[in-house]
Amino acid sequence: MSGLKRSWVSSANGAGCPFPLNNLPYGVFSTGDQEPRCGVAIGDMILDMAAVQARGLIDLGAPDLFDMPYWNDVMELGPKGWTALRARLLQILAEGAPEQAELAPCLVPMAEAELHMPIAVSEFTDFYAGRHHATNVGTMFRGAENALPPNWLHIPIGYNGRASTVVVSGTDVIRPNGQIKPPGADRPVFGPCARLDFELEVGAIVGGNTEMGQMLSVADADAMIFGYVLLNDWSARDIQAWEYQPLGPFQAKAFATTISPWIVSAAALAPFRTPTPTREVPLLPYLAEPGPTLFDIDLSVAIQPKGAPRATTICRTNYREMYYSAAQQLAHHASSGCAMNVGDLLGSGTVSGPERENRGSMLEISWGGKEPLTLETGESRSFLEDGDTVTLSGAAQGRGYTIGFGACSGTIRPARNFDQRGDHP
């Protein structure tokens, strides 16, 4: 693992900076009344890629790649284009680069920019690949003896979610309404979710296309992943408990999914590759891991109630805890012949670890509401309250540098009632 790569953008060389030259994550930003466009984080600045291309400082063989509100066009270039892009950025942003004087006007202070969704999400699929999470949830719902469903050790379980409500960090989350069947009641009621939860996940962004009927090896799938973001799969546990049989979650997950604003490329994470855990039962050959396909990324969750002076960290875990990697999930996704597209987003599943402090959802932390958590600022929580801000953080720790993701944050707003349902078209 090589050390810090030094940049002429001096803030990128600071200890603990989440965006050193080693990282170079991809986002979409705007300033003032300008349209959102592609940018690269470096230190406390954003490199305006549209301006860089306009000055002729980067040439990937296609015009207007970056004067766009998403990175999908860059993803369409494929892995060769991604490698060329990263190589050129490493060159022109490195300490001593002759392009410094020409490039400096293309830098925008991050503090002055608004961040937007980095990709146009084609479709969103969420998996259930954390063994500790699946065991905890299964124990609560079915008892310790039957915690893992019989298929779990063989297949990366997932469901097709909604792309329409994937939002960038900083977007408020409106408490969902839904059908809820209170314990002991004969019939369901319709109303605001009372057991609102987060799920700490990592999102993988698919950067290639497959045709209907085309299968992928795990190695091919791994090479198709453009990068990774933090992902909060907001969940309405009371709605979920009533609706989930037999087809899995529906409205309980459809109301919001938040992602962090910066796509950390698979190349930036290469030094942090780590294998999936030892198999309890062998996987079918099409899911076999060709080399390490997980990543060593420290993850945490903090909650800050409205008016509280500070946030409390309530979970610390690591992405290497997953039983299946994103590459295995993508290979499985395509295995039936399902066509995959540039901009598809795959949620890892909740990344819980073995101990209570490693649990990546309130459902697990409060053990279904039976063991409420006390925050450092005194508030008690079994599930999320209106005004709570939930922030996911992630960092891979290199020797002398950090690969950060930027915050994945959302604040809960009160549920709407039918008088506030809005005008129908």
Measured from the CB atom, the residue of 199 and 289 that comes closer to Ca ion is: 199
Measure the CA–CA gap between 231 and 345, rounded to whole angstroms: 10
Nearer Cβ to Ca ion, position 108 or 166? 166
Residue 25 Cβ vs Ca ion, minimum distance, rounded to whole Å: 23
Of the two residues 48 and 233, which places its CB atom closer to Ca ion in the complex? 233
In angstroms, what is the minimal distance from the CB of 199 to Ca ion? 4
Strands 166-168 and 257-259: parallel
126/344 with CB nearer Ca ion: 126
Nearer to Ca ion by Cβ, of 73 and 199: the residue is: 199
Are the C-beta atoms of residues 107 and 98 closer than 8 Å to each other?
Answer: no
CB-based burial of residue 241 (10 Å sphere; 0-12 exposed, 13-18 middle, 19+ buried)? middle
CB of 360 to Ca ion, least distance (A): 9
Residues of this chain that bind Ca ion (CB under 5 A): 126, 199, 233
Active site residues: 133
> In terms of CB distance, is 123 or 126 closer to Ca ion?
126
Hey, what amino acid is at 86? R
Task: Give least dist CB 348 to Ca ion, A.
Answer: 8
- Name the minimum Å distance from CB 257 to Ca ion: 9
The least distance separating Ca ion from the CB of residue 252, rounded to whole angstroms, comes to: 10
Tokens found for residue 175: 């408490």
Q: Which residue is nearest to Ca ion (CB)?
A: 233
Residues facing residue 126 across a β-bridge:
159, 347
